[in-house]
Structure 1
Amino acid sequence: MAERVLSPDSGDGDVPNNSQIQPVSHPKQNNQLADFRSGTYVVQVPKDQVYRVPNAENALIAEQRRKQSHDRKNKPYCSCCCCAASVIVVVLVLLGLAVGLSFIFLKNKDPKFSVANLIAVNGSNSKAKDLRPDYRLTLKAVNSNKRVGILYKEGGVVSLSFRKQEIAVGKYPTFFHDHKNTTTLNLVLHGSNVALPKEIKDSMKSEKSKVHVLFALKMKLLARTKVWNLKTGNKEFGVDCNVMVDTLAKGTRVLSQECRTKGKH
Structure 2
Amino acid sequence: MADRVHPIPAPPSRRSDHQPPPTGDANATAADATTSAPTETTPLQEQPPYPSFNQRPLSPPPGTYIVQIPKDQVLRVPPPDRARRYKKLAARPARRRLLRRACCFSLAAVLLLILLAAAFVGAVYLIFRPRSPTFSVSSLSIHGLDTLSSSSSSSSLSPELDAAVRADNGRNRRVIIDYRGGGSVTVSYAGERLATGPWPAFRQAARNVTVFAVAMRGNGVRLTEEQTKQLAAEQAAGDVPMVVEAVVPVRLRFGGTLLRTWTVDVKATCDVAVDRLAANATAVNRGCKVKVKPLWWWR
User: TM-score when scaled to structure 2?
Assistant: 0.49
Contact 2:167 2:210 in 1 (8 A): yes
- Give the drift of 1:97: 8.7
Distance of 1:171 and 1:180 partners within structure 2: 24
- My pick for the range that moved more, 210-219 or 136-145, is 210-219
Paired residue for 1:117, among 131, 139, 148? 139
Q: 1:133 to 1:104 in 2, by over 3 A?
A: farther
Q: Deviations over 1:187-217 (max 9, x none)?
A: 01111422145269759xx8xx564210111
Q: Please, which runs of 5 or more residues in structure 2 have no aligned partner? A: 1-118, 295-299
Paired residue for 2:228, among 198, 208, 228? 198
What is the aligned-residue identity percentage? 25
Distance of 1:200 and 1:157 partners within structure 2: 27
Partner of 1:244: 273
Partner of 1:212: 239
Partner of 1:34: none
- Give the drift of 1:263: 2.0
Q: Deviations over 1:40-91 (max 9, x none)?
A: xxxxxxxxxxxxxxxxxxxxxxxxxxxxxxxxxxxxxxxxxxxxxxxxxxxx
Paired residue for 1:187, among 214, 230, 244? 214
Any residues of structure 2 matched to 1:48-87 within 5 Å, and which?
none
Distance of 1:104 and 1:190 partners within structure 2: 43
Partner of 1:33: none
- Give the drift of 1:258: 0.9
Letter in 2 for 1:108: P
Q: Does 1:161 align with 2:196?
A: no
- Give the drift of 1:166: 1.3
- Give the drift of 1:249: 1.1
Partner of 1:108: 130
Distance of 1:114 and 1:257 partners within structure 2: 9
Distance of 2:160 and 2:230 partners within structure 1: 12
Partner of 2:159: 133
Letter in 2 for 1:141: A
Q: Deviations over 1:17-59 (max 9, x none)?
A: xxxxxxxxxxxxxxxxxxxxxxxxxxxxxxxxxxxxxxxxxxx
Local SS of the residue matching 2:173: coil
Letter in 2 for 1:117: S
How many pairs were matched up?
A: 166
Q: Deviations over 1:67-121 (max 9, x none)?
A: xxxxxxxxxxxxxxxxxxxxxxxxxxxxx9986434346x310010011111212
Distance of 2:265 and 2:202 partners within structure 1: 15
Local SS of the residue matching 1:131: coil
Contact 1:156 1:221 in 2 (8 A): yes
Distance of 1:104 and 1:170 partners within structure 2: 37
Distance of 2:145 and 2:242 partners within structure 1: 19
Any residues of structure 2 matched to 1:10-89 within 5 Å, and which?
none
Letter in 2 for 1:131: L
Partner of 1:234: 263
- Give the drift of 1:167: 1.4
Q: 1:97 to 1:164 in 2, by over 3 A?
A: closer
Q: Please, which runs of 5 or more residues in structure 1 have no aligned partner? A: 1-95
Partner of 2:202: 175
- Give the drift of 1:234: 1.2
Paired residue for 1:263, among 292, 295, 298? 292
